[in-house]
Amino acid sequence: MDKWQIVLVGDSCVGKSALADQFTLNCFVEEYNPTVDEDTSWKQWIVDDKHCVIQVIDIPSEAAYASLRDRCIQHSNGFFLVYSITSRTSFDRLEDLLQSVRQVKGENIGPFLLLGNKRDSSLLDRAVPTGEGEALARHFGCSFMEVSARTASNVDRAFADLVRLLRQNRLDAGAAVHQDQERSSRKKCVIL
């Protein structure tokens, strides 16, 4: 059975904890309770008729927790880069957040998705148009989706898409190792 560690990366108040709760517990908690330590939840799930266990790690975004955040990111298989569509500031910080992930994991950061949370908000509250999220995802080289932790809209779909990317990434890595082994076995030379 596949086991995946997925980290939620994003500014405070973008709904990372709410996304984790919606996915693992199928509930939305109205009251905001800031994450002050690593918050981990688990879910056994089936994606494309294959069982998997997903560990969802919600990490605080404050600088005081940088070492905790870095440790969680280092050991993760994939991550969501999350912003709130009602917060221009959370969107503008995404480039820096992705850079901090790259500093921890190197250039091969693994699969990730860009998520614009709070898609259930009114048009008057929207600060980031959908097109800007799509453009940033193209720039980052990842998929993009708007989700709502409140209504559960696209939450399961986002996690399923990331699990599929993780599986494909593992297959690609295995194929690359196999090709390297074949090349090295063919390059043997015997001098008599």
pLDDT tens across the length of the chain (192 residues): 899 999 999 999 999 999 999 999 999 988 776 655 567 899 999 999 999 999 999 987 766 567 887 888 999 999 999 999 999 999 999 999 999 999 999 988 999 999 999 999 998 999 999 999 999 999 999 999 999 999 999 999 999 999 999 999 999 887 655 455 555 555 555 555
pLDDT of residue 9: 95
161 closest CA partner among 113, 121, 122:
113
Q: Collect all residues with Cβ–Cβ distance below 8 Å to 164 and sequence separation of at least 6.
A: 47, 48
5 closest CA partner among 153, 171, 159:
159
Pairing of strands 39-47, 78-84: unpaired
42 closest CA partner among 23, 68, 28, 61:
23
CATH class for the region spanning 2-186: alpha beta
| Domain assignments of the chain as residue spans, ordered by start | 2-186
C-alpha distances out from residue 163 to 23, 113, 117, 140, Å: 13, 11, 19, 19
pLDDT of residue 178: 47
Q: How far is Cα 102 from Cα 92, in angstroms, rounded to an integer?
A: 17
Q: From the DSSP assignment, how many helices (H) and strands (E) are in the chain?
A: 6, 6
Q: How far is Cα 18 from Cα 55, in angstroms, rounded to an integer?
A: 15
Q: How far is Cα 114 from Cα 131, in angstroms, rounded to an integer?
A: 13
DSSP state of 63: G
pLDDT of residue 179: 57
pLDDT of residue 21: 95
CB 3 within 8 A of CB 75: no
Distance, CA of 94 to chain centre: 13
pLDDT of residue 59: 84
Name the amino acid, one letter, at 126: R
